[in-house]
Structure 1
């Protein structure tokens, strides 16, 4: 009976020694879980920002394409005015240079679709054939 109790006491002491280790492991696990939750939140926020950046880059591309078209149109208008003046003055026609702009194909396709949807009188006004 006495040896049985001593063995049980030894077993209980061993289990009691393991309890702080388990508490420490649980605490570390909770800290890791909290860090994981923070990281998941950061990942979601980054994905949202990436999406917003992609939308803004697309918008910038569209605006740059429109600006290029406007600049090209104003250069053509300026050239027409200069051409009219030089014909009257009997001078040589000046050379107008227009900077090249790298426009993505998706933006060109979108602008072509917009032109196709424009009324025919507007298309003929800007010099686009049907």
Structure 2
């Protein structure tokens, strides 16, 4: 019974932690900027939008549900580190959307992100860009 009580306390501790609150804020900022970007560039693809929402919901739900189990095993700080890593990743996505919308950003950093994006595009072969969408099923505003 002590384990269940500890898990309940861990659940509360997990979703009210500073790292998780940061992650939640960044996810909502990323969603807002992503939809704003699609509207401002007059490009909207419901498939990409649904995939993005699904990804963001997963990023929020999985750590919240797994935190109590990890904390009971004594690895709460590892869970906090993973949540911090997810927040860092979301921060990168927020910056990418911010830059793509043409909002003010330090020029040296903008070049750094653009160069990294090009490197990734060459390495992977494709990456989400603001280029024209080639498929006829893609919707435009």
Q: TM-score, normalised by structure 1?
A: 0.29
| Greater RCO, 1 or 2 (C-alpha within 8 Å, sep 6+) | 2
Which is helix-richer, 1 or 2? Answer: 1
Which of 1 and 2 has greater Rg? 1
Query: TM-score scaled by structure 2?
Result: 0.27
